[in-house]
Amino acid sequence: MNGEGKMVCVTGASGYIASWLVKCLLQRGYIVKATVLHLYDPNQTEHLLALDGATERLQLFEADLLKEGSFDPAVEGCEGVFHTASPVLFSPTNPQTELLDPAVKGTLNVLKSCMKVNSLKRVILTSSLVAVAYRGNPFTSDMLVDETWVSDPSHLEEQKLWYNLSKTLAEQAAWRFAKENRIDLVTIHPGFVIGPPLQPTLNVTLEMLLNLINGSQVYPNGFYRSVDVRNVADAHIQAFEIPSASGRYCLVGSNVHFSDLLNIVRQQYPELPLPEQCDYENDALKRFNVSQEKAKTLGINFTPLERMSQEERTVCVTGASGYIASWLVKRLLENGYTVKATVRDTNDPRRTGHLLALDGAKERLHLFKADLLEEGSFDPVVSGCEGVFHTASPVIFGPTDPQQELVEPALKGTLNVLKSCLKEPCLKRVILTSSMASVVFSERPLNPDTVVDETWFSNPLILEQMKLWYHLGKTLAENAAWRFAEENNIDLVTINPGFVIGPLLQPTLNISVQMVLDLINGPEVFPNGFYRSVDVRDVADAHIQAFDISSASGRYCLVGSNVHFSEILNIIRLQYPNLHLPEKGDHGNHFYKEFNVSQEKAKTLSINFTPLEVTLKDTIQSLIEKGFLRI
């Protein structure tokens, strides 16, 4: 399942989890109908309207949890509903009116609206671990909580745990209603949700963290069961997209004592006055374990709590002004990394301006000048990095001097970067941006039944005979990288994408997007072949996942779609009917043969390929916005 053209609803969209959910849904190409309490409150709407894709695919609605029928307009026409709206208060004055009624009645009102929608396929309810763990029996360190546990409302009421009670009663009411009315319901149960906020206001879980580091004298004698907000958003989407998803999903990425949490913060910000003493009487957050088994069936790779440490999150990106690399830098900054990035000229605004404008760049982006052909040039930028993403390599399809323009920079540049990596003791992994060009061109025949995978290697002799110089450069560079990595015990992973397209961040055209522009810009015929493409945002995400997932290894082929050029033109024709597009195929051009590329290994990186329709639309819109295309 993908998001192209699919309409979903997110309730309580201005909230912490919901804001990230809206962001991720828009990135996946969904049309999102989102509810807020007050449409004209900029604190509730501005951060949503500023999201990528919001102008085209985000619609805001005002809705009230306690008003039956209030959600009808927002839910109408939707295939999925993500119900996140529910008050979060730990010390209410009036628990019934402030917490219980909005949680229970609000959930039922949303479900009643869902009953009126014929297109509805599934409802995802944001519940909480507090609706799972509090059964009334004592917690022990060897206890393993899983989705079969259900909190006891009587126990919660006795303990006056009103928020916990509200989430428990709301979930139980939802399951009863769903069963009676045959609604496909899935519930998500996160622990303490932390991570970067999108909204301008503090939520309760982040405020708890802030209070802990903001001059508190003591810390609780308890365990902090947390999960990254981005993992929570991803889990919601996966629970909707995976047909076999069902029931409840507990989400706890880390389970540490508050002292360990403070040690991580202390390493990152040694100047903060953090509490040194434990409040041994404050032991409400008892030690117990939470199963991750069912959550992993959603393809969730939990972000480690240790990633909060700035010192452990510094990475390098070479060739950062390039197309893929610019998106990689953007995604890394969004994920909290400190990025040391190389460009050919730090004084050229066309190479640096779009990078310096990225969110987080002012605080966590450092630019360096480096030359691929100069050994030692990358030493300063690699220093102190635990990860290196080597993307820098020339992309030229008609070189005058292939050896000087392509082969030497690709081959020697890769070895020079790896030699710099050898000098860095804290380095954990190198991610090399390779290409499908270094995979496909072997001696094996290519036909419609062929499935190319990571075991294929292009033959340099064939590439030289065919004068495919770019392909040769990428193949020789990857081969040399694997030899060097094996000889020097470097943990290397390579990413091998097909044609990379999608929106531009940089102000200049790259070759793969130029091909789309050339196809649009008035040729008489189109190639009689197949276009194996992948969205640039998926490629950036795959790089990060290949670094973050400890078990990642080897090569990863990335091809999101594999269609005939005529199908690409049909998609563009539907989206932009005024464009003058070629009608006839060039039947003498058989270079882009029909064959398949396996996605199996790529999926182990939890990559959900962006639909071609979304990628093409975003590519063309970007070309228009940057002045390369006029309609």
Q: To which H or E segment does residue 187 belong?
A: strand 185-190
pLDDT at 404: 78
State the catalytic residue, choosing from 33, 167, 474, 617.
Answer: 474
Q: Which phi-psi region, left, alpha or beta, contains residue 620 (left: φ > 0; alpha: ψ -120 to 50)?
A: alpha
Residues 6+ apart with CB under 8 A from 357: none
The string of pLDDT tens digits covering residues 98-142 is: 889 999 999 999 999 999 999 999 999 999 999 998 888 877 778
pLDDT band, residue 171 (cuts 50/70/90): very high
Strands 192-194 and 530-535: unpaired
- pLDDT of 312 reads 47
Average pLDDT value for the chain: 89
For residue 305 the two structure tokens come to: 């709590």
- Those residues with Cβ within 8 angstroms of residue 452's Cβ, 6 or more apart along the chain or in another chain: 436, 439, 440, 446, 557, 595, 596, 597, 598
474 in active site:
yes
Cα 14 to Cα 21, 47, 203, 205, distances in angstroms: 10, 8, 11, 15
pLDDT of residue 165 exceeding 90: yes
pLDDT in tens, 408-433: 878 888 999 999 999 988 899 999 99
Q: Please say whether the beta carbons of 418 and 427 come within 8 A.
A: no
Question: Any residues with CB less than 8 A from the CB of 114 and at least 6 apart, and which?
Answer: 75, 81, 120, 123, 183
- Residue 630's CB: how many other CB atoms inside 10 A? 6
Would you state the pLDDT for residue 425? Answer: 85
In the predicted structure, residue 591 carries a pLDDT above the cut 70: no
Give the pLDDT confidence of 560-575 residue by residue, as tens digits. 999 998 899 999 999 9
| Rounded Cα gap, residues 2 and 577, in angstroms | 24
| Non-local CB neighbours of 120 within 8 Å, separated by 6+ positions | 75, 78, 79, 80, 81, 114, 183
Residue bearing the bigger pLDDT, 306 or 318: 318
User: Which residue type does 59 have?
Assistant: Q
Q: In the numeric block, which tokens belong to residue 24?
A: 């991720």
Domains of the chain, CATH where assigned: 7-191+228-251+290-303 (3.40.50.720), 309-625 (3.40.50.720)
**Percent of all residues in the chain with a pLDDT value above 70, rounded to a whole number:** 96
Tokens of 35: 């509810």
Give the Cα-Cα-Cα angle 536, 539, 542 (nearest 5 degrees): 155
310 has a pLDDT exceeding 50: no
Q: Are 238 and 299 in contact (CB under 8 A)?
A: yes
Residue 454, Cβ density class (10 Å: 0-12 exposed, 13-18 middle, ≥19 buried): middle
- Among residues 208, 261, 14, 239, which one has the least CA distance to residue 127? 239
Region at 125 (left for phi over 0; alpha for psi -120 to 50; beta for the rest)? beta
Smallest CA-to-CA distance from 194 within 147, 236, 143, 232 is with 232
Q: H-helix or E-strand containing 251?
A: strand 247-251
- β-strand partners of 72: none
Average pLDDT over residues 169-183: 97
Please give the Cα distance from 580 to 587 (Å, whole number). Answer: 20
CA distance 539 to 562: 16
User: CA-to-CA distance for 129 and 150, rounded, in angstroms?
Assistant: 9
For residues 14 and 45, what is the distance between their CA atoms, to the nearest angstrom?
6
Q: Tell me the pLDDT tens digit for each residue of 144-160.
A: 999 999 999 999 999 89
Distance CA 620, CA 417 (A): 34
Question: What is the gyration radius of the CA atoms in the chain, in angstroms?
Answer: 26
- In this predicted model, what pLDDT tens digit does every residue of 222-238 receive, in sequence order? 888 899 998 999 999 99
The least confident of 145-149, 449-453, 519-523, 602-606 is 519-523
pLDDT at 280 over 80: no
Torsion on CA atoms 228, 231, 237, 241, rounded to nearest 10 = -160
* pLDDT one-digit tens code per residue, 549-560: 888 999 999 999
In angstroms, the first-to-last Cα distance of the chain is: 31
Name the token pair of 622: 């970007």
Q: Which residues are bridge partners to 7 per DSSP?
A: 31
Backbone φ, ψ for residue 142 (5° rounding) = -95, 5
Residue type, 27: Q
Q: Which class for 148: exposed (0-12), middle (13-18), buried (19 or more C-beta within 10 A)?
A: exposed
Residue 483 or 525, more confident: 483
Taking the C-alpha atoms of residue 555 and residue 494, their distance in angstroms, rounded to an integer, is 5
For the residues 22-39, what does the mean pLDDT come to? 92
